[in-house]
Chain A
């Protein structure tokens, strides 16, 4: 029983990471109706920036804040410069651009920061008040950070005018223009927010899996599975999807299929969700009258 509980709690801890990545994916999806395949590599690159700042002697939270801000700005610029030209292009064109960005960021990380594995500090001291019987201080801290990001996002979309405008711009860009929304800028802000969330996820993951250019490759897949399972237009769904995927991955890996096939769980979940319930667990089933 002890072993089973351990697997569950480890799964929850992993699930927090997957949920954070899923949040970033949902963010861009809500703004642009596209899934950003480069999300993981952008997050890794952001984490490298934080690492570089910390190496220069910056205190952790200062590096954290600057990294998040820089990531937001970079996301915004990428949308304006790289994605705006293909805004009205077919989906596949956009996918190509995302894959291009994935490769570019991966290569940039390797070129600027080399491929040796680096350690990344956790801001949550090992023996602090955050440590509980089943979770380390870092795991608990990551969980709280993710919940804070989630709540902030929820409040932003639900209660602010800008959040509503972003949702409208994603749903119906033509109608959004007719009420005066600057649709292009809404997309840019969406990208900025996603990049910032990705940076946070990267900085939470790096202390656990260590920092190298390919840190996020597998995690991105779990992130996709979580986002789709939770309902790709629902931030809460992303988090719950993350927790479910994390626990499932661990339990199935420990008791059913063995640890080598753990990543397969993510792929099976992706295919299964899209086939059986495309809206995910909590996604909005949009009804359109013909």
Chain B
């Protein structure tokens, strides 16, 4: 039974600058896995490599299928949804249009409408602003919109790039609580990139620590939280 996502000897480069130097990890279905590390460690690049948005070498297997060499559009069709850093919302389109776009590749139109209502039930603030231009929403609302748009795909795997970035702690807590619910209720597996290690280890069951493009440490969240060096360097105590 292959893991949901298996990454082996992954390398990635932006032009002449190599960022990942052979990253290997695996995540199982149903879990939330965190990727931690300092600025420049290669966390965002790892997510972009899974979605084939950057030149990669090595192997990325999703449900046994090799992704390296595919177009991003085709990776999405396999059930991988990516919430990029900076949210990636279509600022000039309305909230509702953003959600409709999230379901672009789906063929079951009636259930798409149902899902939009479910997103509104989960994030009432989005419903209030359903016809508003997405670019005028606050940071927290845009993050909710970005997550909802990704969920409209009914993905098997949700990639989240720094969802807490630039948001007030109260909003972050709300969003992370909802992510936990989504993982439990809808059985959506998640790969979460976060600079805020404390937050990430609170949500995820497993974690990998990246340092300059390589996996330095891996294990359960409890193990990493207890680890002496992780505590000192990344958790600050």
Contacts and interface: CB of A to CB of B under 8 A. Distances in A.
A164 B71 CA distance: 21
B89 A175 contact: yes
A214 B105 CA distance: 44
Interface stretch (A145-153, A235-243, A281-289): A281-289
A114 interface: no
Contact of A171 (B76, B82, B90, B104): B90
A172 B90 contact: yes
Interface string B70-81: 011100110001
Interface in B109-150: 133, 135-139, 149-150
A284 B93 CA distance: 10
A182 to B, nearest CB: 5
A284 B84 CA distance: 25
Contact of A180 (B77, B92, B138, B139): B77
Contacts, number: 75
Contacts of A167: 93
Contacts of A181: 73, 101, 104
A289 B136 contact: yes
A180 B88 contact: no
Interface residues of A, number: 22
A168 interface: yes
Contacts of A178: 51, 72, 76, 81-82, 84, 88, 150
B53 interface: yes
A179 B135 contact: no
Contacts of B73: 177, 180-183
Interface string A219-248: 000000000000000000000000000000
Contact of B101 (A165, A174, A182, A289): A165
Given A175-B90, A177-B73, 9 more contacts: A164-B100, A167-B93, A168-B101, A171-B91, A171-B93, A175-B89, A176-B101, A178-B82, A179-B105
29 contacts: A164-B100, A165-B104, A168-B93, A171-B90, A172-B91, A174-B53, A174-B88, A175-B88, A177-B53, A177-B72, A177-B73, A178-B82, A178-B150, A179-B149, A179-B153, A180-B73, A180-B76, A180-B77, A180-B153, A181-B73, A181-B101, A181-B104, A182-B73, A284-B92, A286-B91, A286-B92, A286-B133, A287-B135, A289-B135
